[in-house]
Amino acid sequence: MSESELPPEDERDDKTFSMFGEAEAPVAKDKSGYLVLARKYRPQSFDELIGQESMVKTLANAFRTGRVAHAFMLTGVRGIGKTTTARLLARALNYETETVDQPSITMDPPGRHCEAIRKSQHPDVMELDAASRTGVDDMRELLDGARYTPVSARYKVFIIDEVHMLSKSAFNALLKTLEEPPEHVKFIFATTEIRKVPVTVLSRCQRFDLRRLDIEMLSGHLSNICQKEGVKIEDEGLTLIARAAEGSVRDALSILDQAIVSSQDGAAIPADDIRDMLGLADHSRLITLFDLCASGDHKAALTEVASQFHAGADALTVLKDLIELAVEVSRATILGEAYSASGPAEWTRMTRAIAQKLSPAQSSRLWQILIKGLENAQIAPNPATAVEMTLIQLAATAHVPPPEDAVKAILEAAQGKPDAPAAPAAGAISDTSSVSSTGQPSSFSGILALLDSRKRADLQYEVERFVRPGEVRHGFMSFQLEEGATPGLISNLQIFLNKETGINWQIEQIRSEHETVKETEAREREERIHEAMKDPFLSGLISSFPGAEVLDVVPPEPNSEDENIVHVDFSTPEKTRKENR
């Protein structure tokens, strides 16, 4: 090539060395040198893994005793350290120094393979993303490579992330190799959906469940990172980040990264900035809002939540935070002075103050209302209005006594008048004896008792519902059969009586003015309810619940040995259940 054909000096490749001894090309500066916190502070040893002490202890014992499994299954929520643990395991299995030539979980100093594995550049440690390579052909290609011995390391390690995304055929292709792998092969699987992994695969692996980090531990971890980065954030702000991360370390570090870049250089980051960034309401104001609802102050509660919405709080987030707060109040109600909130001492004091106003049953009822309110808000056209309606419902329940007091009031209302035997109503059968001297049923109630003792619930139900009794004597029974009865009821009842009594029964149909058993029960229930509703306290209690009604009043059994046991039927009538559907 002639000099005239050479490119001008300013057009030459500045990344290529000169062949003629000229100065080397300058090293280009990395314009994207910033490393996000989640990658910068990725654990480099098992000692740096936080919150997974149980797993680290088990692995340490396995390595110490030489009982290392050939396949590991790591499961847990997002950002909890599954891939990091898999890479640490690959390094530990292939740990090798000039003085150490065996697997080691300590890895101090770093081995000759550690750096390459850490950078995902080692030829004997292969990572497969099952989310993008799900087919059986990908799995066969992977397993074909498992037959060959490692290039330089001790083991050939296959790390398969999101393993639950593999197809059924891919799992089947993996099974045989997974059950009897070559001595030089180790498998490490990671998944967030452990239930989607076939049990045939799980049974061939040693499983480790990586747990979420609690708020205190995650807040402490974030505080240590802030000190290393030279960033100042209020403790309440770190707690808000830890709460929003829901136990995920990676999520927490990503939020912290965002909080740092959104602040001015060198300035302390207040909790209000983090709250605005996350769209959260002030937790102290949330506690105040819950207190207003628990105190029954409708107007103040609506004013407070409107102010929080105006400040940028998300409606569904407010409702979810109130649900968590209801749990905290319930815990404070049970634990008393032993309760401590995850945050400033002021939160603990305010939560305890609310707990002192409520019984465990009341706090549980508030939680149930909030859970139902969240379901409604998620499908409502405007979640904010659904939240307001939920708060109104919360405040309305504040004036209602605890359930245990309501039960006691209903019972006292039922017992308010002296017990006296009620006169039989018109048409009712008054049986003085249900069984004759010969042991045969001599009354309608005696026949019902015989059906009950023989466990003939099907026949007994039909008789109680459709039979208006008449005369009953030895071997004879008369009654009126109502419409809707099952065909063959008379013959079935006659066959039953013949078999159980040993005599032939004669059954005659007549016109009867008596009530059926079900009609009698319904009338007596209405009479008990009507009598109980005369009590002013009970009527006022029912009026506090729009749409509420007393289903039944059950007086205690006479001569009861335990007068402190109250039996109340809270079941919903079948008709009401069908209407609700």
Model confidence over 281-331: pLDDT tens digits?
Answer: 677 888 889 989 888 888 899 998 998 888 778 889 889 989 988 998 888
Residue 253 CA to residue 205 CA, distance in Å, equals: 31
d(CA 156, CA 177): 13
- What's the pLDDT score for residue 452? 86
CB atoms within 10 A of CB 47: 12
Q: Which helix (H) or strand (E) holds 236?
A: helix 235-245
**Which residue bears the tokens 């006594």?**
401
Q: Residue 420 in 3-state DSSP?
A: coil
Provide the pLDDT confidence category of residue 75 given band limits of 50, 70 and 90: very high
For residue range 499-556, list pLDDT tens digits in order: 888 888 888 888 888 888 888 888 888 888 888 888 887 777 777 777 777 778 877 6
- Mark out the alpha helices in 262-359 (DSSP H runs): 271-278, 283-295, 298-310, 315-335, 345-355
- Strand ranges of the sheet holding 71-75, from the earlier edge strand across to the other edge: 125-129, 156-161, 185-191, 71-75, 206-209
Tell me the domain boundaries of the chain: 37-209, 227-278, 283-399, 444-519
Residue 416 has a pLDDT of 54
Does the pTM surpass 0.85? The reply is no
What pLDDT is recorded for position 25? 47
- 3-state secondary structure (DSSP) of residue 131: coil
What CATH code would you report for 283-399?
1.20.272.10
Cβ atoms within 10 A of the Cβ of 1, count?
5
Cβ atoms of residues 527 and 417 within 8 Å: no
**β-sheet with 467-473: strand ranges across:** 467-473, 476-481, 506-509
φ/ψ (deg, to 5) at 145? -70, -20
Amino acid at 184: H
Decide if 84 contacts 42 (C-beta within 8 A): yes
Identify the pLDDT of residue 396: 85
CB 403 within 8 A of CB 363: no
Q: How many C-beta neighbours within 10 Å does residue 473 have?
A: 12
- Predicted confidence at residue 415, as pLDDT, reads 60
Q: Token pair of 361, please?
A: 């049953």
Provide the β-strand partners of residue 367. Answer: none
In this prediction, residue 512 carries a pLDDT of 84
What Rg, from alpha-carbon coordinates, does the chain have? Answer: 38
102 class by beta-carbon count within 10 Å (0-12 exposed, 13-18 middle, 19+ buried) = exposed
Q: Could you tell me which CATH class the domain 37-209 is placed in?
A: alpha beta
Q: Do domains 37-209 and 227-278 have the same CATH topology?
A: no
What burial letters (b/e) apply to 372-392, b meaning 16+ CB within 10 Å?
A: ebbeebeebeebbebbbebbe
Using a pLDDT cut of 90, give the percent of the chain over it.
Answer: 17
pLDDT recorded at residue 285: 85
- Decide if pLDDT at 208 tops 90: yes
Q: What is the mean pLDDT of residues 223-233?
A: 89
> Which DSSP helix (H) or strand (E) runs through 507?
strand 506-509
The mean pLDDT value for 397-417 works out to 63
pLDDT score at 436: 54
What is the arithmetic mean of pLDDT over 188-211?
A: 92
Query: For domain 444-519, which CATH number applies: 1.20.1050, 3.30.70, 1.10.3470, 3.40.50?
Result: 3.30.70
Contact 414, 527 (CB under 8 A): no
Cβ within 8 Å of residue 497, ≥6 positions away = 441, 447, 450, 477, 505
Domain 227-278 has CATH 1.10.8.60: yes
Rounded to the nearest integer, the mean pLDDT of the chain is: 80
Distance CA 509, CA 386 (A): 59
CA distance linking residue 394 with residue 392, whole number of Å: 5
Specify the 3-state DSSP secondary structure of 139.
helix
Q: In this prediction, what percent of the chain has a pLDDT beyond 70?
A: 81
Return the pLDDT at 86.
92
CB 174 within 8 A of CB 139: yes
